[in-house]
Amino acid sequence: MPALDPLLDDLFAGRHGALRAEFDGWLRGSRRFAAFAETYRGKIRAKLRHAQDADGLRDVRAELEVAALLLGEERFAIEYEKYAAAKQRGPDFTVTFKTHTPFNVEVRRLRAAETDADPEARAARLVYVLVDKVKQMPPSFVNLLWLSAEGQIAEADVPAAATTLRQLAERKADDFFTRRGYESAADFLRAYGRLSGVVWRWTGQPAVWLNPITRHKAPPELVAAIRRLSI
């Protein structure tokens, strides 16, 4: 395990005390997370220093928490922003399960204002999250969207949002999708087929919704491993 105090000093430079304390706990609780932090020291340091405000810092925290959770499972190996290194837009993490099953994870923090509402309003807000994030899903891979929630997401919220989006696309509501960067509803449906599922976590262990029309299904053993993750 790398020397942790110098690593923490380098990453945080005396700032962000609350996150530093939490990150310290993740480091000391997992040799694998400590090795990840050392490998991506420069990237993590840059993200922490370039965070413009409290919201930006919480976005970085959400990504790092997901890394800590994934690395708590010995069968997961992760790469951080592999697509960005190739100058492509793509998910935050490329993960390999049991050395032979690759998949992608895109992290999206859900602010308290996006979750502290009635179920209908939460589902409506999740519609916009899904329609935006589907664009980042590359073809020919299992792709998961991970929602890191600052408030409660009910089990029915994600399926309700997914059903709304699919109905809009099947009704050919082109205006809705063209306003959000797609050529048409059919263009969205093609991209939507790349989304294998959605993971969400508020407290406790993650929940998973699987997209019934995805072209690349997440293996059951992989899904079971995600549902057991904890730190």
pLDDT digits (tens, 9 = 90+) for 190-219: 999 999 999 999 888 899 999 999 999 999
User: Tell me, what DSSP letter sits at residue 78?
Assistant: E
Look up residue 93 and give its two tokens.
């993490």
Q: Which residues pair with 101 in a beta bridge?
A: 97
164-194 pLDDT tens trace: 999 999 999 999 999 999 999 999 999 999 9
Look up residue 28 and give its two tokens.
């000391």
- Is the pLDDT confidence value at 86 over 80? no
6-56 pLDDT tens trace: 999 999 999 999 999 999 999 999 999 999 999 999 999 999 999 989 999
SS3 201: strand
DSSP 167-191: HHHHTT-HHHHHTTT-SSHHHHHHH
Q: Which of 25, 57, 73 is the last residue of a domain?
A: 73
Does 60 lie in the same domain as 166?
A: no
Does 100 lie in the same domain as 67?
A: no
Does 210 lie in the same domain as 99?
A: yes
pLDDT value for 151:
84
68, 30 Cβ separation under 8 angstroms: yes
SS3 103: strand
Does 85 lie in the same domain as 64?
A: no
Does 60 lie in the same domain as 126?
A: no
Q: How many structural domains compose the chain? A: 2
Does 131 lie in the same domain as 60?
A: no
Q: Which of 73, 104, 123 is the last residue of a domain?
A: 73
Domain of 161 in residue numbering reads as 81-231
Does 44 lie in the same domain as 133?
A: no
Does 177 lie in the same domain as 88?
A: yes
Q: Which residues pair with 142 in a beta bridge?
A: 103
pTM, two decimals, is 0.94
Does 100 lie in the same domain as 58?
A: no
CA 162 and chain centroid, separation: 17
Does 105 lie in the same domain as 123?
A: yes
Rounded mean pLDDT of 83-97?
Answer: 89
